Amino acid sequence: MRARPGRGLSGPRPGACTRALLLGAGDRSIRGALPGARPGEGPLIAERARLVTRLYVVADLVATATAFYAAYILRRFAAPWVDPFDLIQRVLAPPGNYVPLLLAILGLWALIFRAHGLYGRRWARTLHTEVSRIVRAIAIGGLLLAFVIFVAKLDWVSRPLVMGFLVVDVLFVVAGRRIVRAVALDSTSTRRVLVAGGREEALTAASDVDAHREWGLHVVGIVTDGSWSAAEVSSQHPVLGTYVDIPDLVGGDLVVDEVLIAPSTGRIEDLRALEGVLLQLQELGVTTRLVVSFLPQSFSDVSFDELGGLPLLRFSTAPKDELLLFVRRCADVLLAASFVTLLSPLLVVIAAAIKVTSQGPILFRQTRCGLHGRPFTFLKFRSMRTNAEALKPDLQPFNEMDGPAFKMANDPRVTPFGRFLRRMSLDELPQLWNILKGDMSFVGPRPAVVEEVRQYAPWQRRRLTMRPGLTCLWQVSGRNELTFEEWMRLDLQYIDNWSLWLDIKIAVMTIPAVLRGRGAR
C-alpha cells in the first residue's frame, strides 16, 4: 500500500496510511483524510484506482498497437495502386520488420506515460489536462524514436509511417481512455458506503464522496456518534442511527459494501470505544475504513511496510518510485558513458592546457556529501591555484554569498585558464566519472561541501535526500545571483516535484544557461 507525495512547491504534504486504517487530517474532509498528498486519493479508492490504472495501461497499449498498424496500412495504401483485388492482401499483410520496432515503442511509451503521471492514482483528471499530457508524452516519444532511427541508421523505417502513427496514436489513446473512464463511472460498478462519525466529520465525508463520482462510491446513509441527531443538520442522506446500530443496519436489509467511520477525535485511546463495532463488522465480512488523526500531518509521503512480519509506517520526504529511479539511473550511466567517449578528445585537450598553464595536478579532488550525507570524492578540473583552500580563510571577508557557502566574483585564487573553464562550466566534466560510479546523477542538488553541511539549518539538510547532480534548478535560475536560502528552497522544490520530465527540462535549460555563463564565478 503506497501513498504518493504531492507535487506542490511549498514542501511536504499531509497524509498517512496503514493496512487497516484510513488516516484522517485536520480539515476532516475525505480529501484531507486520504493518505498521500494528492487530493481525493488513498486506500478508500486504492483498489479501484489500481484497477482503472491497469485498464488504462491495457487501453494505451492496445490503442498504440492499433494506431501503428493503422498507420502501416495507410502507408501501404499510399503506394501506387496496382490491382483492385489486392485490397485484402494489403490489409492482412504482416508488418514484417516493424514488429520488433512496435514492441520497442510499446515499452518506451509505457515508461514515458508513467513518467508523465498518466498512470498515477489521479486518473480522473479533466479532458484538457489528460489530452495535453498525452500529446506531450507522445511528442517526446516521437523525438526519442526519431533519434534512435537516425543514430541506428534504420533506413528501412518509413518516415511518413512514423509521423502518421504519432498523429493517429494521440487520437486512439484519447479515445481509449475516454472509454475506460466511461466504464469506471458506470453506476453499476459503484460501492455502497455507510458513513459514520461526528457531525462535521461525517457530513464532510459524505459531501466529498458525492462530489467525486470517479471514486466509484455511493453514500447510502449516515450514522451519528451519539453526540448529534438528524434534527440538528440538513443533509440529503438519511441519518439511520448511532454507532451501536451499525451492525444491525449492515446485517439487515440495507445493502452496504463498506463502512467509513470518521469520529470527531482520532486519538488512539478514544478509538478503543469503537472496538466492539469494528469486531462485529469484521464478523459480518464488511470492509471498514477508519479515519484517525493520531499521526502528524507534515509528511509528504507515508507508506505501509513490513519488516520480518512487523508492521511499519514509513515516513519519507524524497521520491521513492523505484522504477522511475531505476530508469533515471540507467539513463545516467548510458549518457555519462556516451559523453565520456564523445568528449574524450576535449578532456585530453583541457588536461594538457591545465598542465601547461599552471603548476599542480590536473584534477581537483574534494570530499563532498552525497545521498543522505554519504561522503564521496568529488572531481573537477583544477581551476585554482594549488594552495586555494589554505587562502580561503583570508578571503572570507570578501564572501558575496550569505549562509555557509563561499562565493566570490573575482576570486584571486582562480587561474586565467580556470576562469575560462568556470565560465563555460567545463571544469565540471570530470564529474561524469562521479555519475558513472553512482555518487551523482546528471540532475539533482549540487553536492555540498562537508563543512557547509555542518552549518545547515535542519530544514536545509533535506536537500541531501536526493542524489546530487551535475546540474539543478539553481544552475538554471541564476546560480550565484541567488541568495543561499533561495538556493536551498529551489533544491527542496526540485525534490518535492521530482519527475523524469522535470529532469529533462532542467537538462535542456542548462545548455543556454551554460552558453550565457549567467551567474558563473
Kindly write down the DSSP assignment for every residue of 140-164, as one continuous string.
HHHHHHHHHHHHTT-TTS-HHHHHH
> What is residue 520's predicted lDDT score, i.e. its pLDDT?
59
Whether residue 316 is predicted with pLDDT greater than 50 in this model: the reply is: yes
Quick one: how far is CA 424 from the chain centroid?
31
Beta bridge partners of 260: 195, 289
Whether residue 299 is predicted with pLDDT greater than 70 in this model: the reply is: no
180-196: average pLDDT: 75
Angle at 458 between CA 456 and CA 461, to 5 degrees: 65
147-160: average pLDDT: 83
For the domain bounded by 189-294, which CATH number is listed? Answer: 3.40.50.20
Q: pLDDT per residue over 427-448, tens digit each?
A: 999 999 999 999 999 999 999 9
Average pLDDT, the chain: 79
- Give the residue extent of every domain in the chain: 1-184+296-317, 189-294, 322-516
Quick one: how far is CA 218 from the chain centroid?
30
182-199: average pLDDT: 75
More confident residue, 209 or 518: 209
280-285: average pLDDT: 83
Q: Which amino acid is at 102?
A: L
DSSP code of residue 6: P
Residue by residue, DSSP assigns 102-121 as: HHHHHHHHHHHHHHTTTTSS
Beta bridge partners of 369: 375, 448
Spatial CB neighbours of 420, under 8 Å, sequence gap ≥ 6 = 426
Nearest to 23 by CA among 262, 265, 293, 275: 293
> What is residue 503's predicted lDDT score, i.e. its pLDDT?
92
> What is residue 521's predicted lDDT score, i.e. its pLDDT?
55
The model's pTM: 0.57
